[in-house]
């Protein structure tokens, strides 16, 4: 059974972004979406994660049709089952790293996984205020905050865009290990084909269509 299924999605702003897009995500699967700036990658990710309603089409998340849910149901799904990772970390600067992570675990009734923090190489940083950490360290704190709540689907919008190549690969390996262990799913929007190639499937969004590619150009 799919974790996520989208059928015949259409969306536009002042101009059409995409039309007739279909998408599926299965347990333990990672999928990358690539494309030029302005092609609609982030917009598609926001639709797939129920943050934005498409002009046309249907999205089913965890066997529930989004257009049949009320806002309270969607908020509950985001709180417990969905994880969002952004290019920028959105941490509380006046708080310690561990406190930033604790917020998510309290809201989702989960616990902090110290093994996960060790894999992300941030276990020694948890008592420092986030304002004292580098941008890359803060990004890994934000990723730990998402993973510690044990989401069933992770949506990541340029999660490694501000990281060096070595740290980017470390983060992707942690994300892939997580989805295999938890039978979760991962959808990554990225400009980096090296990161995209670490996923099980790669799709390119261009000319208003989403198509699977076997090898990046």
131-150 pLDDT, tens digit per residue, is 899 989 999 999 999 999 99
Q: Are 142 and 90 in contact (CB under 8 A)?
A: yes
Per-residue pLDDT, 215: 57
Residue 19 pLDDT > 70: yes
Q: Are 65 and 135 in contact (CB under 8 A)?
A: no
88-109 pLDDT, tens digit per residue, is 767 888 899 999 998 888 877 7
Per-residue pLDDT, 105: 83
Q: Which of 149, 143, 57, 64 is nearest to 97 (CA)?
A: 143
Q: What percent of the chain has pLDDT over 70?
A: 98
Per-residue pLDDT, 106: 84
Distances (CA, A) of 148 to 32, 69, 156, 196: 22, 26, 15, 24
pLDDT tier at 128, thresholds 50, 70, 90:
very high
Mean pLDDT of all residues belonging to the chain: 92
Q: What percent of the chain has pLDDT over 90?
A: 74
- Give the Cα separation of 182 and 162 in Å (integer): 27
Query: Where is 44: in which H helix or E strand?
Result: helix 41-48
Per-residue pLDDT, 94: 85
Residue 216 pLDDT > 60: no
135-147 and 97-107 are packed helices; what angle lies between their axes, rounded to 10 degrees? 20
Residue 70 DSSP label: -
Residue showing tokens 């333990």: 28
pLDDT tier at 180, thresholds 50, 70, 90:
very high
The superfamily (CATH) of domain 4-212 is P-loop containing nucleotide triphosphate hydrolases (3.40.50.300)
| Region of poorest pLDDT, from 100-109, 121-130, 167-176 | 100-109
22-54 pLDDT, tens digit per residue, is 999 999 999 999 998 888 999 999 999 999 999
Residue 91 DSSP label: -
Residue showing tokens 């983060």: 171
* Section 176-185 average pLDDT: 97
């Amino acid at each position: 059974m799919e974790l996520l299924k989208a059928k015949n999605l259409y969306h536009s702003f002042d101009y059409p972004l995409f039309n007739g897009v279909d998408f599926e995500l299965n347990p333990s699967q990672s999928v990358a979406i690539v494309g030029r700036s302005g092609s609609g990658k982030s917009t598609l990710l926001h639709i797939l994660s129920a943050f934005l309603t498409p002009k046309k089409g249907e999205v089913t998340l965890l066997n529930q049709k989004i257009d049949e849910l009320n806002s309270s149901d969607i908020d509950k799904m985001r709180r417990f089952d969905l994880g969002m990772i952004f290019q920028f970390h959105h941490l509380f600067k006046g708080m310690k790293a561990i406190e930033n992570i604790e917020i998510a675990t309290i809201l989702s009734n989960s616990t902090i996984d110290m093994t996960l923090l060790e894999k992300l190489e941030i276990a020694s940083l948890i008592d420092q205020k986030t304002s004292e950490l580098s941008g890359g360290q803060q990004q890994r704190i934000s990723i730990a905050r998402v993973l510690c709540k044990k989401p069933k689907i992770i949506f990541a919008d340029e999660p490694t865009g501000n990281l060096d190549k070595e740290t980017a690969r470390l983060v992707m390996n942690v994300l892939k290990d997580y989805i295999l262990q938890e039978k979760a799913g991962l959808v990554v929007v990225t400009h980096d084909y090296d990161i995209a190639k670490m996923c099980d499937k790669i799709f390119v969004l261009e000319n208003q269509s989403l198509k699977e590619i076997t090898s990046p150009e």
